Amino acid sequence: MTGVDEISRRRAPAAERNKGPILEVLRRVLPPSGLVLEIASGTGQHVAHFAAALPGLQWQPSDPDPAHLTSIRAWTDELPNVLEPLALDVRHRPWPIDRADTVICSNMIHIAPWAAAEALVAASGELLSSGGALFLYGPFRRLGGHTTPSNEAFDAQLRARDPEWGVRDLEAVEALANGAGFVLQEVVEMPANNLSVLLRKQA
């Protein structure tokens, strides 16, 4: 990497902490080959880590923020299995991609309006074929309540910043996914009170 690329690389401490645990789940649930579309790639730390560890897969990062797209390029420009990042806002249809084998999205639906979750699930349902997976990572409420006091406090902070943000109910996300042709296949408890949620597209 050049000095310019190092300067362009943004770093998020949370992404650095959780990229390893997420990768361990992805190793198990992703197919050995195919195209993985990452929604809201952010800094690019995740996709760089995943692509280096899983070279049999082709990775398509995306983000609506131009500064993030620059950072993603800086993190991934030496990885041959990472495509040029797409400028993609989930709410703007059609998406600039017509197929994928898996869609992954980490830490987005709680820092965006519910309409973003609706758009993510609906478009993923159209993009993925039968058997394709939608993988979500982040904090969730379960059975109508928060799983920990820290998640409850985090939710309050989010809603104070923007009333349309907030930690989502897993059951509401599952119902949304069911309507787009997905079934909930697995929920994995992760560090820092987060969950990995695997939704599988049905025939």
Residues 172-185 have pLDDT tens digits of: 999 999 999 999 99
- 1 band by pLDDT with thresholds 50, 70 and 90: very low
Q: What is the mean pLDDT of the chain?
A: 95
Name the pTM for this structure. 0.95
- For residues 133 and 130, give the distance between their C-alpha atoms in angstroms, rounded to a whole number: 9
Q: Do 196 and 137 contact (CB within 8 A), yes or no?
A: yes
Q: Do 121 and 93 contact (CB within 8 A), yes or no?
A: no
Q: Which two tokens stand for residue 40?
A: 């809201």
The pLDDT of residue 6 is 72
Helix (H, G, I), strand (E, B) or coil at 61: coil
Average pLDDT over residues 88-98: 96
The pLDDT of residue 8 is 87
Cis peptide leading into residue 85 (ω within 30°):
no
Q: Which two tokens stand for residue 112?
A: 């965006």
Per-residue burial over 66-77, b = 16 or more CB atoms within 10 Å of its CB, e = otherwise: eebbbbbbbbbe
Average pLDDT over residues 180-191: 97
Write down the H helix ranges in 77-182: 114-127, 149-161, 170-179
Superfamily of domain 3-201: Vaccinia Virus protein VP39 (3.40.50.150)
